[in-house]
């Protein structure tokens, strides 16, 4: 039996994803006055693109992202200053994550608004964006 030759790490790109799904919090975001006044629950999921090899090799939390801190960051945006659009909210969350967690090379943020005031039957409305360092 022959083994495949080992490929040097420099010949491929590492894309590791840390996913935090279903962060729920209450906010007052929306275009309608009732949404701002009454508020509603939002759900956010984030995919953080992080090279996890340094943390895995040393078993060191300081070389990766602290999940609890990411969740607190997202909750801070959700409960913070109201915005009209979930597109704006997603952008603010992505920008804050990239600014706060330097090991994160890119982030995908999905903001879900389960109770959007639309005269139709639907499960939820969401916006999903991806932002990366340049």
Could you list the active site residues? 113
Residues 16/49, Cβ–Cβ less than 8 Å: yes
CB 112, CB 89: distance < 8 Å: no
């Amino acid at each position: 039996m022959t083994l495949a030759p080992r490929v040097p790490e420099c010949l491929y790109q590492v894309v590791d994803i840390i996913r935090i799904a279903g962060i729920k919090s209450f906010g007052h975001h929306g275009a309608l006055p009732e949404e701002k006044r009454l508020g509603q629950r939002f759900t956010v999921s984030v995919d953080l693109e992080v090279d996890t090899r340094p943390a895995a090799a040393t078993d060191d939390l300081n070389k990766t992202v602290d999940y609890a801190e990411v969740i607190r960051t997202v909750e801070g945006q959700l409960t913070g200053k109201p915005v009209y659009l979930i597109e704006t909210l997603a952008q603010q969350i992505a920008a804050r994550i990239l600014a706060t967690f330097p090991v994160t090379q890119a982030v995908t943020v999905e903001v879900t608004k389960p109770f959007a005031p639309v005269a139709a039957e639907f499960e939820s409305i969401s916006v999903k964006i991806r932002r990366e360092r340049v």
